[in-house]
Amino acid sequence: MKLWAAAALLAIGSASIAQDAASPSNGSLNSRLSGDLVPTHDPVIAREGNIYHVFSTGHGDRLIETRTSPDLVHWTAGDPIFTSLPDWAKQAIPGSNGMWAPDISHVNGRYRLYYSVSTFGSNRSAIGLATSPTLDPKAKNYGWRDEGMVVMSTKDDDYNAIDPNFIIDRTGRHWLTLGSFWTGIKLFELDPKTGKPKDAKAKPFSIARRPAPAGGPAPVEAPFIIDHGGYYWLMVSYDYCCKGVNSTYYTVIGRSKEITGPYLGKDGSPMMEGGGTIFLRADLQEQQRFRGPGHAGWIHDRDGRDYVVYHAYDKQANGAPTLRIAPVQWGADGWPVAQY
Is 42 considered catalytic here?
Answer: yes
CA–CA gap between residue 247 and residue 288 (Å, rounded): 13
Domain map (residue ranges) of the chain: 3-338
Cα 31 to chain centroid, rounded: 21
Residue pair 281/326 in contact (Cβ under 8 Å)? The answer is no
Residue pair 185/260 in contact (Cβ under 8 Å)? The answer is no
329 beta partners: 337
Position 7 scores a pLDDT of 34
How many other CB atoms sit within 10 Å of the CB of residue 232?
23
Cα–Cα distance list, 92 to 96, 125, 203, 259 (Å) = 9, 8, 21, 30
Residue pair 146/112 in contact (Cβ under 8 Å)? The answer is no
pTM for this predicted structure:
0.92
If 0-12 CB within 10 Å is exposed, 13-18 middle and 19+ buried, where does residue 214 land? Answer: exposed
Position 321 scores a pLDDT of 98
CA–CA gap between residue 54 and residue 33 (Å, rounded): 13
Q: Residue 94 contacts by C-beta under 8 Å, 6 or more apart in sequence?
A: none
Q: What is the DSSP letter of 212?
A: P
CA–CA gap between residue 165 and residue 177 (Å, rounded): 5
**Which one from 36, 42, 65, 146 is the annotated catalytic residue?**
42
φ, ψ (nearest 5 deg) of residue 296: -85, 140
Position 26 scores a pLDDT of 55
**Which one from 189, 221, 306, 314 is the annotated catalytic residue?**
221
CA–CA gap between residue 46 and residue 68 (Å, rounded): 10
- pLDDT one digit per residue (tens) for the chain, 340 residues: 333 333 333 333 444 444 445 444 457 999 999 999 999 999 999 999 999 999 999 999 999 999 999 999 999 999 999 999 999 999 999 999 999 999 999 999 999 999 999 999 899 999 999 999 999 999 999 999 999 999 999 999 999 999 999 999 999 999 999 999 999 999 999 999 999 999 988 899 999 999 888 667 889 999 999 999 999 999 999 999 999 999 999 999 999 999 999 999 999 999 999 999 999 998 767 678 999 999 999 999 999 999 999 999 999 999 999 999 999 999 999 999 999 9
CATH architecture for the domain at 3-338: 5 Propeller (2.115)
